[in-house]
């Protein structure tokens, strides 16, 4: 397949150099694979550190900045970052109030962030952790024990980041992050497979005219394959699965997320169908975000994430944020 790269071995480093050139508000350590707010550490403010395999952009480096993450640690494509990256990031963003690790529930991420937390605490940094496990498609997958972490990662990073920006203590920022994760559910659909630079082609077989319901962001199998469905039918299916598990009693945040190759024309049409289905189910939508935020390289498809919010969570969602991929109120 044609790809806009030099060689597979340098694709992550090349991307990091491009991020540095495009976003002077960030400090990008290409060699050590750490992306920081240029003003880090912020004295008296909890630092937020997240990371994961590359290929899900703008997650996580695109969410580094005031009101969201303090640092991101990109691994190789679909591969966890190593503990040294998170230890460096934690030391760099620790302003004396401690650091929160936001970890998607994938085995490599969990193990490496756990090890990094121990090493960082040995160096005098107070660490708290929150595990994101919002995907309702399957209980276990090729990469996880338990549910996968997907679209809710954005909600956790934004809302916890706003709490940190207000100067709330580590214990409270952690509690808010856990509340957001516990109030969020996601479901994804693939229309095509994704292709990694190393493989140079699709990572799994998805015949033309079929889709994968409940796909993971690394191309992990979902619940079932079916013949291609309409946007309305996919929205009805996805919303139904999410609401079977979430059962919100208050308004929700809605993320209609593209997997990387689905154009906004299609995503906005799909968003209309999701809103229709939620209205028919009596679920009020407080805020909507549409776009490619938690992607899977060049996969065509989408995911739906709902997060039940109270007044405080909605206020924190609306708080100013200034990152490469998410910006408002500034």
The residues carrying an active-site annotation are 56, 218
State the CB neighbour count (10 A cutoff) for residue 146: 15
* Contact status, residue 102 vs residue 157, Cβ threshold 8 Å: yes
Tell me if the bond preceding 60 is cis, omega within 30° of 0. Answer: yes
User: Tokens at residue 328, please?
Assistant: 């408002």
Give the C-alpha separation, 275 to 208, whole Å: 28
Phi and psi at residue 160, to the nearest 5°: -65, -35
Give the C-alpha separation, 206 to 210, whole Å: 7
Write the DSSP assignment of 272-298 as a string of letters. HHHHHHHHHTT--EEEEEEE-SS--TT
Burial class, 220, CB count within 10 angstroms (exposed 0-12 / middle 13-18 / buried 19+): buried
Burial class, 209, CB count within 10 angstroms (exposed 0-12 / middle 13-18 / buried 19+): exposed
State the CB neighbour count (10 A cutoff) for residue 139: 11
């Amino acid at each position: 397949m044609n790809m806009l790269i030099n060689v597979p071995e340098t694709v992550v480093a090349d991307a990091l150099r491009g991020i540095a050139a495009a976003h002077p508000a960030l400090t990008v350590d290409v060699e050590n694979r750490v992306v920081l707010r240029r003003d880090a550490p912020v004295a008296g403010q909890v630092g937020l550190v997240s990371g994961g395999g590359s290929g899900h952009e703008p997650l996580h480096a695109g969410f580094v900045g005031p009101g969201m993450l303090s640092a991101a640690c990109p691994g190789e494509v679909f591969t966890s970052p190593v503990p040294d990256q998170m230890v460096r990031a934690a030391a760099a963003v620790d302003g004396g109030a401690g650091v929160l690790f936001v970890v998607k529930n994938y085995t490599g991420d969990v193990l490496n962030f756990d090890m990094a937390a121990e090493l960082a605490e040995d160096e005098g940094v107070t660490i708290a952790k929150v595990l994101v496990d919002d995907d309702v498609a399957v209980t276990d997958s090729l990469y996880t024990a338990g549910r996968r972490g997907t679209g809710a990662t954005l909600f956790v990073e934004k809302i916890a980041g706003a709490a940190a920006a207000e100067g709330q203590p580590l214990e409270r920022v952690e509690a808010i992050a856990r509340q957001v994760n516990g109030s969020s559910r996601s479901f994804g659909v693939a229309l095509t497979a994704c292709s990694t630079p190393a493989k140079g082609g699709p990572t799994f077989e998805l015949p033309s005219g079929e889709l994968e319901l409940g796909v993971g962001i690394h191309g992990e199998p979902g619940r079932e394959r079916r013949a291609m469905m309409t946007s309305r039918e996919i929205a009805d299916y996805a919303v139904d699965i999410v609401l079977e598990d979430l059962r919100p009693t208050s308004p929700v945040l809605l993320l209609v997320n593209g997997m990387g190759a689905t154009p906004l024309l299609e995503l906005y049409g799909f968003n209309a169908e999701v809103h229709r289905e939620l209205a028919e189910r009596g679920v009020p939508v407080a805020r909507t975000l549409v776009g490619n935020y938690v992607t899977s390289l060049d996969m065509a498809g989408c995911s739906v994430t709902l997060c039940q919010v109270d007044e405080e969570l909605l206020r924190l969602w609306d708080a100013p944020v200034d990152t490469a991929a998410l910006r408002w109120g500034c």
